[in-house]
């Protein structure tokens, strides 16, 4: 067995890509427009290595003791240049030479080079470690993955308003279309579900994928780049919750070369104000210790009524390289927010009339307070039907509705008293030791903390998170070696052996997580509640007889409404509202893993991964729960993961791949963790993916194409009901073309069709209202029936197969950038979305729609000015409240979000 060197000091094995890495040209030298730099090749090399057995013993010992080791830092890179296409806060850059085309016919090795200051937008520009934990060329990865740099984040509009624009990521990847609930999420939707978020390779598990909820708005200022990976989690990172994709964020890195900084200010229409500063540099004369400090402030209103977002975010990075074979990187983030996020509401009661009128007409009318029922009658209903969902009103909407009337798209179901306030933060320490040739040890420790409370009184939802945190530690042993087969010697005329190369990432991860969360979610949408604008009483549902009847009533849904301890009056929780809900829990998990990349020569490779996550769980109803409702759960379980993917490269420019993932994950409480009413099935939800595809790198690595067909089976965890199996099938295509320093083209297309199979269940999918408001008016049916008019159990009522709602069957995007030689650049982008249903019976369908954006940047000396024009053509478009797999699709019948109209934003920055 011959050892093979890892990258120097383990470079390229880092948790996040903090150095600029470009695939080498076919021949180096001729016409190279990049600055001179040392090139480090990752290649096979022979030679017996001393210390192999000793190294393996040391590795096993370290894994058993879970010691804190570390990741080597990257080599310094000029931050004024793009890091694998990363831009700084000023957006696009002036033109500079890209690496010229070359003509060698074989696949070149990976080469580390100095960066060009023209962002390289090609996915093949740098190795990616987010898919299997090990850095790999995208052509060798049997999965669909999209590297996203700061330039793409800015130009797509993803973070233009300080929180995530749900369609921003879809401007980059067509499978990333999502609902309005994603605005307060730490990750976008991917293939119909919210993605799992990872930060520098570590899972942020204090959040809920099903509810698309992490509590507070996300700090996008600390992000340097993102890898968007489609499909389930991998063996090294793990999975945790049900999802059809994940993202790995690389945070900002220290400046080791010299002191540098940047200050910026962004101002936009509709009171959109953001500002920030970023500085960093070496601390000591030897440049072994360096830092980065980044700040962003925000005081923003919105085009939407009663929506605002105020944030103060501070991020700090410290890098230390005391010796050649050891380094440590520390990352700290602190976020403070006070907001009334869009994710808490939408436009009430979507109908086809609303869409056909361009958002100017809809069915209006409000139920008089005297017709809402009495507290006593509602208490009697729940006494006769303990735990039943919302008691329907006997009044049909046709008796008090007034038909079509004028409406204002800016008026969401957002109370002026809605709020989301608190603080969150993280600390992360990554250490690395280069033990021997082909042998590295990495330790990654991650801590996340959040404390906040939020309330939306107009349809009542609130949550109080009393100080949740996770401590996550992973120790990795990374090995690289060759196993020669055959051969008859090394002399002249002798046959050389055939070498099989191996890259292995194996180790142990443990997690401790603590949650104390109070949630009220069972009384969303009182019967016949409609038009908060005509009935101000409904700005606060707590004032209605319906809500009053549930207070301190154990027969009401979820065990009734009870005051949350240590909070102001008016905050309530339900002790027994199931997954995504209230809990007082703690758990440990322990997960050994093995990820193996085997290359059989130059044309065939195989990746497989194994992981087994064991959970030790203790969950109970939290303090404040009445004794008759107290429940506790103590259990343990194991969720396995297996993945395998072959890659065949008949030509250096073509990769054909297949992929199979089979893993079990768990449903989560409000902010992760487990609830005391959790069932065994909710702890073992299958997530299975079959995918085949092709990747092409053409025109001397200037044109990248990828194609994929996928079939994914996964479960929706319905609140209060048995998890239900879903199936997502589709095809996607992505293209990036960067012929020279001036032009860049991107385009993508996705076809996705999801179904839920209720054939074996006694009910259909959940909806707060099983028909559109227009249908209710014409047929005099009650609003917010919760399916009672069709079935006493659930909304759609009858078993069967139902299409996913809130998900366009087809999405397509395009982006083009042109850069001049005198510092001026332009970017135009567009997104097309086909029609999609909001109701499972298709009684309201969002029509086909599109959005276009335009931006221009001028950079001269140290100054840069960028002007963004969002929704250039002022098209009227709509986004669902939730999409596909999210349990909140049950509310799509009540909420839809009108997209932002034409608006302009400008950002000016100064570098020093």
245-273 mean pLDDT: 95
> For residue 332, what are the CA distances in angstroms to 244, 446, 475, 687?
29, 10, 20, 33
pLDDT tops 90 at residue 839: no
Backbone angles phi, psi at 485, to 5 degrees: -125, 130
- pLDDT score at 493: 60
Does residue 446 contact residue 486 with C-beta atoms inside 8 Å? no
pLDDT tops 70 at residue 222: yes
110-131 mean pLDDT: 71
pLDDT tops 50 at residue 549: yes
pLDDT tops 70 at residue 743: yes
Higher-confidence residue of 74 and 483: namely: 483
Q: What is the pTM of this model?
A: 0.86
- pLDDT score at 597: 96
Higher-confidence residue of 764 and 19: namely: 764
Over residues 669-725, the pLDDT tens digits come to 888 889 999 888 888 889 999 999 999 999 999 999 999 999 999 887 766 677 888
- pLDDT score at 93: 32
Over residues 857-904, the pLDDT tens digits come to 999 999 999 999 999 999 999 999 888 888 778 777 778 889 999 999
- pLDDT score at 1: 53
Share of the chain above pLDDT 70, in %: 82
457-474 mean pLDDT: 92
Cα R_g (the chain), whole angstroms: 28
- pLDDT score at 490: 55
Backbone angles phi, psi at 890, to 5 degrees: -60, -20
**Burial degree of 105 (CB within 10 A; 0-12, 13-18, 19+):** exposed
Over residues 396-426, the pLDDT tens digits come to 888 888 889 898 899 888 888 888 999 999 9
DSSP per position, 542-610: GGSHHHHHHBT-TTSGGG-BEEPTTS-TT-EE-TT--TTS-EEEEEEEEEEEEEEEEEETTTEEEEEEE
Higher-confidence residue of 349 and 745: namely: 745
Cβ count within 10 A of residue 703: 18
Lowest mean pLDDT among 345-349, 584-588, 633-637, 732-736: 345-349
Partners of 392 in beta bridges:
none
User: Whose CA is closest to 200, among 150, 159, 253, 149?
Assistant: 253
pLDDT tops 60 at residue 265: yes
Q: How confident is the model at residue 531 (pLDDT cuts 50, 70, 90)?
A: low
pLDDT tops 50 at residue 659: yes
Does residue 571 contact residue 564 with C-beta atoms inside 8 Å? yes
The pLDDT mean for the chain works out to 82
734-743 mean pLDDT: 96
Q: Please give the Cα distance from 637 to 43 (Å, whole number).
A: 42
- pLDDT score at 243: 87
- pLDDT score at 679: 87
- pLDDT score at 342: 76
> For residue 878, what are the CA distances in angstroms to 354, 807, 836, 901?
11, 12, 10, 11
Q: Please give the Cα distance from 69 to 474 (Å, whole number).
A: 9
> For residue 383, what are the CA distances in angstroms to 573, 626, 799?
20, 18, 29
SS3 646: strand
Over residues 42-101, the pLDDT tens digits come to 333 333 343 444 444 444 444 434 333 333 333 333 333 333 333 343 333 333 333 333
- pLDDT score at 117: 66
Q: How confident is the model at residue 393 (pLDDT cuts 50, 70, 90)?
A: low
145-248: which CATH topology?
A: Ferric Hydroxamate Uptake Protein; Chain A, domain 1 (2.170.130)
- pLDDT score at 28: 34
385-393 mean pLDDT: 72
- pLDDT score at 148: 92
- The structural domains of the chain, with segments of one domain joined by +, span 145-248
User: Whose CA is closest to 130, among 223, 244, 235, 218?
Assistant: 235
How far is residue 77 CA from its own chain's centroid?
28
């Amino acid at each position: 067995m011959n050892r093979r060197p890892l990258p120097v000091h383990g470079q390229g094995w880092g948790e996040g890509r903090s150095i600029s890495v470009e695939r080498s040209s076919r021949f180096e030298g001729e016409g190279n427009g990049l600055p001179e730099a040392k090139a480090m090749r990752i290649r096979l090399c022979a030679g017996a290595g001393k210390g192999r057995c000793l190294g393996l013993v040391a590795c096993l010992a370290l894994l058993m003791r879970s010691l804190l080791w570390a990741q080597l830092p990257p080599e310094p890179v000029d931050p004024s240049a793009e890091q694998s296409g990363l831009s700084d806060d000023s957006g696009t850059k002036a033109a500079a030479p890209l690496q010229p085309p070359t003509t060698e016919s074989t696949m070149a090795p990976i080469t580390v080079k100095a960066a060009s200051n023209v962002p390289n937008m090609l996915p093949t520009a740098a190795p990616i470690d987010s898919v299997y934990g090990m850095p790999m060329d995208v052509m060798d990865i049997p999965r669909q993955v999209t590297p996203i740099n700061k330039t793409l984040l800015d130009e797509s509009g993803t973070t233009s308003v300080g929180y995530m624009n749900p369609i921003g990521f879809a401007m980059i990847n067509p499978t990333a279309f999502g609902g309005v609930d994603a605005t307060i999420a730490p990750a976008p939707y991917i293939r119909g579900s919210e993605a799992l978020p990872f930060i520098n390779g570590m899972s942020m598990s204090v959040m809920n994928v099903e509810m698309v909820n992490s509590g507070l708005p996300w700090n996008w200022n600390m992000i340097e780049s993102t890898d968007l990976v489609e499909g389930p989690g991998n063996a090294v990172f793990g999975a945790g919750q049900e999802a059809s994709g994940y993202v790995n964020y690389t945070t900002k890195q220290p400046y080791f070369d010299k002191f540098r900084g940047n200050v910026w200010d962004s101002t936009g229409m509709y009171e959109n104000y953001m500002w920030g500063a970023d500085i960093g540099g070496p601390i000591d004369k030897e440049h072994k210790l360096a830092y980065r400090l980044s700040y962003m402030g925000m005081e923003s209103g919105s085009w939407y009524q009663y929506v605002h977002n105020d944030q103060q975010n501070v991020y700090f990075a410290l890098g230390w390289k005391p010796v050649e074979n050891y380094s440590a990187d520390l990352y700290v983030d602190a976020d403070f927010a006070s907001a009334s996020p869009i994710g808490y509401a939408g436009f009430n009661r979507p109908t086809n009339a609303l869409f056909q009128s361009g958002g100017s007409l809809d069915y209006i009318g409000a139920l008089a307070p005297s017709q809402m029922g009495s507290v006593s009658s509602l208490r009697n209903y729940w006494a006769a039907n303990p735990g039943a969902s919302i008691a329907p009103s006997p009044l049909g909407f046709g008796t008090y509705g007034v038909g079509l009337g004028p409406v204002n798209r800016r008026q969401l179901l957002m109370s002026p008293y809605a709020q989301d306030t608190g603080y969150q933060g993280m600390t992360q320490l990554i250490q690395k030791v280069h033990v021997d040739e082909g042998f590295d040890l990495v330790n990654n420790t991650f801590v996340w903390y959040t404390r906040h409370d939020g309330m939306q009184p107009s349809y009542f939802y609130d949550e109080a998170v009393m100080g949740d945190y996770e401590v996550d530690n992973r120790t990795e042993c990374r090995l690289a070696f060759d196993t020669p087969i055959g051969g008859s010697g090394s002399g002249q005329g002798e046959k050389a052996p055939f070498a099989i190369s191996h890259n292995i990432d194996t180790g142990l991860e443990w997690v401790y997580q603590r949650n104390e969360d109070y949630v009220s979610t069972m009384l969303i949408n009182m019967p016949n509640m409609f038009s908060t604008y005509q009935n101000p009483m409904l700005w606060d549902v707590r004032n209605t007889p319906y809500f009053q009847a549930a207070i301190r009533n154990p027969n009401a849904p979820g065990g009734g409404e009870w005051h949350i301890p240590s909070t102001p009056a008016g905050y309530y929780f339900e002790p027994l509202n199931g997954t995504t809900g209230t809990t007082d829990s703690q758990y440990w998990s322990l997960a050994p893993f093995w990820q193996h990349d085997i290359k059989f020569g130059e044309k065939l490779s195989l990746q497989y991964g194994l992981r087994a996550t064991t959970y030790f769980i203790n969950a109970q109803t939290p303090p404040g729960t009445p004794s008759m409702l107290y429940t506790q759960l103590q259990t343990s379980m194991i969720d396995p993961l297996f993945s395998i993917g072959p890659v065949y490269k008949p030509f250096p420019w073509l990769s054909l791949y297949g992929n199979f993932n089979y893993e079990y994950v768990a449903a989560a409480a409000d902010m992760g963790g487990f609830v005391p009413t959790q069932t065994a099935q909710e702890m073992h939800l299958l997530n299975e993916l079959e995918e085949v595809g092709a990747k092409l790198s053409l025109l001397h690595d200037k044109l990248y194409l990828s194609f994929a067909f996928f079939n994914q089976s996964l479960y929706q965890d319905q609140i209060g009901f048995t998890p239900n199996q879903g199936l997502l099938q589709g095809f996607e295509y992505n293209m990036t073309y960067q012929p020279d320093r001036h032009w860049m083209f991107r385009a993508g297309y996705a076809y996705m069709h999801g179904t839920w199979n209720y054939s074996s269940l006694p009910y259909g999918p959940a909806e707060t209202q099983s028909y559109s408001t227009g249908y209710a008016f014409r047929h005099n049916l009650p609003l917010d029936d919760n399916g009672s008019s069709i079935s006493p159990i659930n909304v759609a009522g009858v078993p069967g197969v139902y299409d996913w709602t809130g998900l366009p069957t087809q999405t397509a995007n395009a982006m083009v950038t042109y850069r001049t030689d005198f510092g001026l650049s332009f970017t135009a982008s567009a997104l097309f979305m086909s029609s999609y249903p909001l109701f499972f019976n298709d009684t309201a369908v969002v029509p086909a729609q599109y959005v276009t954006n335009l931006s221009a940047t001028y950079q001269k000396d140290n100054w840069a000015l960028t002007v963004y024009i969002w929704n250039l053509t002022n098209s009227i478009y709509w986004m669902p409240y939730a999409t596909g797999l999210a349990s909140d699709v049950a509310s799509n019948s009540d909420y839809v979000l009108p997209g932002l109209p034409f608006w302009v934003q400008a950002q000016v920055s100064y570098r020093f």
